[in-house]
Amino acid sequence: MKKVLLATVAALSLATASAQVGKAASEATDAAKHKIDQKRAESEAEKSGPVGKAVNNLKSGYHKKQSERSANQAKKAIKNAG
């Protein structure tokens, strides 16, 4: 009975850790996508007129913040998996 209980606990903790690693991977992917979008907006801002620069700089700032948020969420998920 004790072995079954220990095996169940081990399986549950492994499943939880696996889910946290999956979440971390998802958040890291989101961070990378936002970083790409940030760089794209910065590039567009260089080519644009004054209104386009303002719009693209706003987009760039948004994607930068979202990238940082996703990276922090990924770090938290990795900490929780351990």
Query: Does residue 70 contact residue 31 with C-beta atoms inside 8 Å?
Result: yes
Model confidence at 15: pLDDT above 90: no
- 35 Cβ partners below 8 Å, 6+ apart? 63, 64, 67
Distances (CA, A) of 68 to 36, 48, 50: 13, 26, 27
Q: Where are the domains of the chain?
A: 2-81
| 2-47 helix and 50-81 helix, angle to the nearest 10 degrees | 170
Place of tokens 């567009």: 44
Average pLDDT over residues 7-31: 72
Residue type at position 42: E
- The per-residue pLDDT for range 26-81, each reduced to its tens digit, is 888 999 999 999 999 999 999 999 999 999 999 999 999 999 999 999 889 888 87
